[in-house]
Amino acid sequence: MYYHASPVGRGERGEPEEDARIRSFLLMSGGTLPPFPSLAAVKQDLAKLDKLATESTASASPLTHDPLVLYSKLQNVYLFSILCVTNDVPFAFIREIFVVLKLFMMLLEEDSLKPEMKKAGFYGVPINDTGIYKLRMIARSKVVALSLREDINVPSSARRMVEEMRAEHEMELIRKGSPHVKQPWRDRMPLYAQLADVLVFSNELNNDTKFLLEQLLEYAKDQSAPDFAMTKELRKDVVLSCRIHLSLVLSQLGGKENPVKSKQHTSWVVNQFRDRPHMRDTLSGYVLRKDLPEHPVARALGPAWFANAPSWRSPETRTPWKPSGSGSSSSACAQCGAQKGSSTGEELLRCSRCKNVFYCSKECQKAAWKQHKSACR
């Protein structure tokens, strides 16, 4: 999970991006979904929402009186709230997206509304009890992620929701007689990775947080896990976030081993990012947060690394972060992030051996070879 605001999220021109993983997750049981709505369509729905809120105030009837009506009238903004990459939600109307998500959760949580929600479906996706559960989980996770975004930064709100999610999950494990009752992160790793983010961003830099992070890190690297192949990309993200957090948490704890381990995690993270200044915004969402001690990773990279790095790529061309040497997309140089050849402006050079990695110049290709070598096939 990344907690920075993208250029679109900061208000620059461009279209927000859909999280394709959520679309796939919702369509696993069949059905269809409309195309991801444009920003213009979302703004039209937000204007309708504002008008309905004004009418609600004038009539002294709460906006929440009939959430099903809102759900039927504001399809674009509801779809956007569930499907949009949280980094891309424009800051100018994040408050309204919070409102929509909370209205949506009413439909999914109130017993009197659930039957109607099942009849309506999710804009082409049939909804049963499992579907209600999926949508509720996504909506709550979106609220948490937006609350933790660096330009919003209200971890107290995120903490309340994620603690509720954890309590419900633990009760579910007990009810099912799951073998993971004492290690619940093995049943739902994303939830506990998000909990770890909440704890660190809430300045809970203690042994309990250390324990959770170390357990998550161990499980994320466990290649014997039954779903390891299916969740490989998620596990890479969890390894990254845990090591970033452990760098800070361990630096704040006493004892002989903690400072040593902190330095080990710091060195690992710095090695992943040092030669990738285009990833500044991604990393800053973790290590340049207000109300936290100075982060060892930020100190090791130095202010110049953050200040002089180019802005993050636009949503149309950006690619997900991958550990150094694991490959890249053809949209950017695997070493520096440039979009085209640095010397000629022509298309990127492809690795002649594996055909999977691209570079903007021979110099970048040489600089990346040491780390790329092990992944090159």
Do 143 and 163 lie in one domain? The reply is no
326, part of any domain? no
pLDDT value of position 341? 44
228: tokens are 């390891």
Contacts of 341 (CB under 8 A, 6+ apart): 347, 348, 349, 360, 361
Do 132 and 6 lie in one domain? The reply is yes
pTM comes to 0.75
pLDDT value of position 74? 94
Altogether, the residues listed in the chain come to a count of: 377
Closest CA to 85 of 19, 150, 141: 19
Cα 271 from Cα 297, distance rounded (Å): 10
pLDDT value of position 100? 94
Do 224 and 354 lie in one domain? The reply is no
pLDDT value of position 312? 37
Proportion of the chain in helix, strand, coil states, percent, rounded to 5? 60, 0, 40
CA atoms within 13 A on the CB side of 371: 20
Domain boundary among 111, 126, 149: 149
SS (H, E, C) 305-371: HHHCCCCCCCCCCCCCCCCCCCCCCCCCCCCCCCCCCCCCCCCCEECCCCCCCEECCHHHHHHHHHH
Q: Is the distance from CB of 191 to CB of 166 less than 8 angstroms?
A: yes
Give the range of the structural domain holding residue 294, as residue numbers without chain letter: 153-312
Task: Give me the number of domains the chain comprises.
Answer: 3
Do 302 and 249 lie in one domain? The reply is yes
Do 291 and 355 lie in one domain? The reply is no
Q: How far, in whole angstroms, is CA 204 from its chain's centroid?
A: 21
Do 131 and 191 lie in one domain? The reply is no
Closest CA to 99 of 142, 135, 130: 142
Do 173 and 237 lie in one domain? The reply is yes
161: tokens are 């929701």
At 254 the three-state DSSP class reads coil
pLDDT tens-digit readout, 197-217 = 999 999 999 999 999 999 999
- For residue 228, the 8-state DSSP code is T
324, part of any domain? no
Do 128 and 45 lie in one domain? The reply is yes
Mean pLDDT per 10-residue section of the chain, whose length is 377 residues: 88 92 91 95 93 75 73 94 95 93 92 90 93 92 94 91 93 93 92 96 96 95 80 89 97 93 97 90 90 94 77 35 34 55 54 65 71 53
Do 62 and 196 lie in one domain? The reply is no
Do 43 and 162 lie in one domain? The reply is no
71, part of any domain? yes
Other C-beta atoms lying within 10 Å of the C-beta of residue 111: 6
Do 197 and 299 lie in one domain? The reply is yes
